[in-house]
Amino acid sequence: MRRAATEEFCANVAYGTCDYLIIDLPAGTGSEAVSVMQYISDLTGAIIVTMASEVSQATARRAATLCTSAKVPILGVVENMSGYHCPTCGDNSAVLRSGAGQELAEQLSVPFLGRLPLHQSVAAGSDEGRPFVAAAPDSEMAQTFSFIVDKLETNIHRRHGGTLQAAG
């Protein structure tokens, strides 16, 4: 059923003209990732998202190996859940180990795109279907997301000689 759903999503949906189509896949090298790579042969690239834990790092490395084997460029690494943003005082504290995403990017020789801390408002916005960056565009978290997106776009443009074709 998952393979059929992935095929339907990748091969039979008319998305129209869009700048980017981002597909969020489960961690690792499961059938969804393999299917996406089979059905969309001209992927611009993949973003490896990891946490600082050793288990997450091992999973991220396997995903990177899958991308490399499939000749899908790795556009960069994002470290998720890198610290905790306190909704009361606004401080960020390192609850989990930090820095492993940057280490992984260095090991893979790809750009490190940034760190995203755990943030209650981001989670709430996701649950409500309202992007946090739209709800609080001037916040520090929105700026962090924007910084990561800017680095990602720069990397994509650099890989494509400064020009991009819209997907369609």
What domains lie within the chain, and their CATH numbers? 43-159 (3.40.50.300)
pLDDT digits (tens, 9 = 90+) for 79-89: 988 777 676 77
Q: Confirm if 98 and 112 have CB atoms less than 8 A apart.
A: no
Q: Model confidence at 168, in pLDDT bands (50, 70, 90)?
A: very low
Largest CA distance in the chain: 48
Q: Confirm if 96 and 82 have CB atoms less than 8 A apart.
A: yes
pLDDT digits (tens, 9 = 90+) for 120-148: 777 788 888 888 888 888 888 888 889 99
Q: Confirm if 100 and 68 have CB atoms less than 8 A apart.
A: no
Task: Give the pairing type, strands 112-119 and 92-93.
Answer: unpaired
Backbone phi and psi for residue 96, each to the nearest 5 degrees, phi listed first: -105, 165
Write down the pTM of the prediction. 0.82
Q: Does residue 150 surpass a pLDDT of 90?
A: yes
